[in-house]
Amino acid sequence: MNRVAAALLVWTLTSPSSSGRGDAWPVHMACSSGGLEVLYQSCDPLQDFGLSIDQCSKQIPPQLNIRFGIILREDIRELFLDIALVSRGSSILNFSYPICEEDLPKFSFCGRRKGEQIYYAGPVNNLGIDVPQGEYQVLLELYNENRATVACANATVISS
């Protein structure tokens, strides 16, 4: 018993504090209902983050409510989102969208500082589309005015 405890202690003391660094982050499920399943994995080597989507459905409503939590590693005076949608190896859509602008920002989390925790629960505007059956890869990247990655996710959308 003591041996086990000793080994455990050695492991906790010597392993890096943020366990998982170097390896890939675990795959999380953002939602799974209504024939739609969204899985994601952080592709930022520095950190993982939390995301969940309310009312997951194949018919994505124009106002989709999400919850998103992260500890910022960068200031986000300005924030941009890049979305790349890939299906069966071919790129379908590339999209870039400014989320925070310096002057009169749209969202309350704009202008937050490095080290600050953000929790966003609210709507995400989209075109309101029906997801055709299939499996899609979505690469999402949030970056700031210095092109430093704020968050990055490889998401898989499975519509059945």
Residues that bind another protein (CB under 8 A): 2-3, 5-7, 9-10, 13-14, 16-18, 46, 71, 73, 104-109, 112-117, 120, 122-123
> First CA to last CA across the chain, in angstroms?
49
User: Would you say 43 or 86 has its CB closer to another protein?
Assistant: 43
What are residue 13's phi and psi, to 5 degrees? -75, -35
User: Would you say 122 or 128 has its CB closer to another protein?
Assistant: 122
Closest CA to 138 of 69, 72, 82: 82
User: Would you say 10 or 29 has its CB closer to another protein?
Assistant: 10
In angstroms, give the least distance from the CB of 105 to another protein. 8
User: Would you say 18 or 55 has its CB closer to another protein?
Assistant: 18
In angstroms, give the least distance from the CB of 137 to another protein. 28
Task: Give just the sign of the alpha carbon dihedral 140, 144, 147, 151.
Answer: negative
Cα 143 to Cα 20: distance, rounded to the nearest angstrom: 23
Q: In the numeric block, which tokens belong to residue 113?
A: 């500082």
In angstroms, give the least distance from the CB of 25 to another protein. 15
**Can you list the alpha helix ranges (DSSP code H) found in the chain?**
2-14
In angstroms, give the least distance from the CB of 15 to another protein. 10
